[in-house]
Amino acid sequence: PLRGLTLRADAYLTVIDGRVEIRRPSPSAVQANATPTNSTPITSKGMEAQVDYKSPRLGAYASYSLQSSTYPKQDLLSLGLDTVQVRTDAYPTHLLKAGVTWTERPWYLRGNIEGRYVGARLGNLDNNALINPLDHLENRYALSAYALVDVSVSTVGIEFWKGHESVFLAKVHNLADARYTFPGTNGFDIPGFERSFSFSLQQEL
């Protein structure tokens, strides 16, 4: 019963040197537009784990990732120009995905359900400076965690001409119509996608 089971796990440490980021200039700067600037190295560490199971009728997977990324930055508002470790924005510390696919070839049908949990993400550092102008490097706001579920039904094994499969797919995105937000810039965060429906046809040539 465990023949189709696969387990994977890894840990990593990544250091990116010569990093460039887009930052908004200070109010006293001549230019008003955000510009690329040289930034301090960023250090990322974390782990990933995944389990997969496959059988003729059932396919399932689950994956989890944990990460932490920081970079040193000089606090221009401190009296001693202290250097603090700043946590990166836009990417969650916790990310969980899971899905199940069930195939009934005698009925030419395949069903799939997939869910993902995205942990809280810090907002853009420039946006945070608008909310916490006096200590924006250490006092950060975060976008709420959220969970999304997608469901789809498709055909399997249908061939209008031999050797060329035709796949009809109907899918519901964000089944529970969850409300969530992507990190943005220039004082704005971006609303996530509401519940939607899609239909498609894939034809092998």
pLDDT at 51: 97
Confidence of residue 30 (pLDDT cuts 50, 70, 90): low
Structure tokens at 152: 């789809």
Tell me the pLDDT band of 27, cut-offs 50, 70 and 90. low
Q: Supply the pLDDT for residue 187.
A: 85
Count helices and strands (H / E) in the chain.
1, 16
Nearest to 41 by CA among 24, 22, 20, 66: 20
- pTM of the full predicted structure? 0.83
List 168's β-bridge partners, or say none. 201
Report which of 65, 73, 7 is spatially closest to residue 37, judged by C-alpha positions. Answer: 73
The answer to whether 50 and 8 have CB atoms below 8 angstroms apart is yes
How far apart, in whole angstroms, are the C-alpha atoms of residue 168 and residue 20? 44
Q: What is the pLDDT of residue 97?
A: 98
